[in-house]
Amino acid sequence: MQRIGVFICWCGSNIAATVDVQRLSALIKAEPGVVYSADYQYMCSENGQQLIRNAIREYGLTGVVIGSCSPRMHEATFRKAAEAEGLNPYMVEVANIREQCSWIHKDKEEATAKALILIRTAIAKVRLDAPLTAGESPVVKRALVIGGGIAGIQAALDIAEAGFPVDIVEKNATIGGRMAQLDKTFPTLDCSACILTPKMVDCAQSDKIDILSYSEIEEVKGFVGNFKVKIRRKARYVDETKCTGCKACMEKCPSKKGLNEFNMNLNNRSAIYIPFAQAIPNVAVIDPEQCIKLKTGKCGLCSKICGAGAINYEMQDEFVEREYGAIVVATGFRPIKLDNFNEYGYADNKDVITSLELERLMNAAGPTNGVLLRPSDNTHPKVITFIQCVGSRDVSGCGKPYCSKICCMYTAKHAMLIREKYPDTEVHVFYIDVRTPGKNYDEFYRRAVEQYGVDYIKGMVGKVYNENGKLMVQGSDLINNEQVVIPSDLVVLATAIEPEPGVRKIATLLTASIDTNNFLNESHPKLRPVESPTAGVYLAGVCQGPKDIPETVSQASACAAKVIGLLVKDHLKTNPCVAHADEQMCNGCSQCANVCAYGAITYVDKEFRIGGGKTETRRVASVNPAVCQGCGACTVTCPSGAMDLSGFSSSQIMSEVEAICKR
Give the pLDDT confidence of 47-67 residue by residue, as tens digits.
999 999 999 999 999 999 999
Average pLDDT over residues 421-444: 95
Structure confidence at residue 379 (pLDDT): 95
Is it the case that residue 556 has pLDDT exceeding 70?
Answer: yes
Quote the CA–CA distance of 124 and 194 in Å, as a whole number: 63
Burial of 403 (0-12, 13-18, 19+ CB in 10 A): middle
For residue 550, the SS3 value is: helix
Whether pLDDT at 503 is above 90: yes
Alpha carbons 510 and 332: distance in angstroms, whole number? 17
Q: Which is nearest to 278 in space by CA: 202, 335, 170, 373?
A: 202
How far, in Å, CA of 196 to CA of 634, rounded?
Answer: 47
Helix (H, G, I), strand (E, B) or coil at 453: coil
Would the CA dihedral through 120, 125, 131, 132 be positive or negative?
Answer: negative
pLDDT of residue 663: 62
Per-residue pLDDT of 150-195, as tens digits, reads 999 999 999 999 999 999 999 999 999 999 999 999 999 999 999 9
Q: If pLDDT is split at 50, 70 and 90, which confidence band does 135 have?
A: confident
User: If DSSP codes are grouped into helix, strand and coil, which group holds residue 644?
Assistant: strand
| Residue 64 to residue 75: CA distance in whole angstroms | 12
d(CA 341, CA 353): 13
CB of 606 closer than 8 Å to CB of 618: yes
**Measured torsion, CA atoms of residues 262, 266, 271, 274, in degrees rounded to the nearest 10:** -30
Going by C-alpha positions, the residue among 118, 122, 109, 132 that lies closest to residue 34 is 122
Helix axes 549-567, 150-161, angle to 10 degrees: 40
Give the bridge partners for 476, in sequence order.
Answer: 483
Q: Where are the alpha helices (DSSP H) in 283-403?
A: 292-296, 301-305, 355-362
pLDDT at 611 over 80: no
* pLDDT band per the 50, 70, 90 thresholds, residue 446: very high
For the segment 30-38, the average pLDDT, to the nearest whole number, is 94
User: Per-residue pLDDT tens for 246-256?
Assistant: 999 999 999 99
Give me the domains of the chain, ranges plus CATH numbers. Answer: 4-128 (3.40.50), 143-228+321-332+502-567 (3.50.50.60), 248-305 (no CATH), 337-498 (3.50.50.60), 579-646 (3.30.70.3270)
Half-sphere exposure of 293 (CA within 13 A, CB side): 17
Query: Percent of the chain, pLDDT > 90?
Result: 87
Please report, as a single letter, which amino acid is at residue 194: C
User: What mean pLDDT is predicted for residues 139-146?
Assistant: 98
The mean pLDDT value for 324-340 works out to: 96
Q: If DSSP codes are grouped into helix, strand and coil, which group holds residue 177?
A: helix
In sequence order, the 6+-apart residues with CB closer than 8 A to the CB of 621 are 581, 586, 588, 592, 593, 601, 602, 603, 642, 643
Over pLDDT 70: what percentage of the chain?
A: 100
As a whole number, mean pLDDT of residues 237-244 equals 96
Query: Rounded to an integer, what distance in angstroms lies between the CA atom of residue 567 and that of residue 564?
Result: 5
Q: How far apart are CA 432 and CA 408, in angstroms?
A: 10
Q: Which residues contact 449 (CB under 8 A, 6 or more apart)?
A: 456
Question: What pLDDT does 630 receive?
Answer: 87
pTM of the model: 0.89
For the chain, give the mean pLDDT.
Answer: 94
Continuous segment of H or E residues that includes residue 348: none
Q: List, in sequence order, every residue forming a beta bridge with 538; answer none if it has no partner.
A: 328, 531
Q: Which residues of 624-661 are buried (b: 16+ CB within 10 A; e: fewer)?
A: ebbbbbbbebbbeebeeebbbbbbbbeebbebbeebee
Q: Tell me what the mean pLDDT of segment 258-269 comes to.
A: 95
Residue 32 pLDDT > 80: yes
Cis previous bond, 187, omega within 30: yes
State the pLDDT confidence band at 627, using cuts at 50, 70 and 90. Answer: confident
Better-predicted residue by pLDDT, 612 or 586: 586
CA distance 505 to 499: 12
Alpha-helical segments (H) within 500-548: 503-509
In angstroms, rounded to a whole number, what is the distance separating the alpha carbons of residues 434 and 448? 12
Q: Are 274 and 284 in contact (CB under 8 A)?
A: yes
Greater confidence, 80 or 600?
Answer: 80
Q: Yes or no: say if 205 and 162 are a contact pair by the CB < 8 Å rule.
A: no
Mean pLDDT of 339-351: 94
The per-type count for the chain, helices as H runs and strands as E runs, is 17, 34
Query: Do 121 and 661 touch, CB atoms closer than 8 A?
Result: no
Taking only the tens place, the pLDDT of each residue in 356-414 is 999 999 999 999 999 999 999 999 999 999 999 999 999 998 999 999 999 999 999 99
With beta carbons less than 8 A apart as the criterion, state whether 537 and 327 touch: yes
pLDDT range class, residue 10, cuts 50, 70, 90: very high
Angle between helices 21-28 and 108-128 (to 10 degrees): 40
Burial of 15 (0-12, 13-18, 19+ CB in 10 A): buried
User: What's the confidence (pLDDT) of residue 73?
Assistant: 83
Question: Can you tell me the distance from the alpha carbon of 596 to that of 593, in angstroms, rounded to the nearest whole number?
Answer: 5
Whether residue 1 has pLDDT greater than 80: no
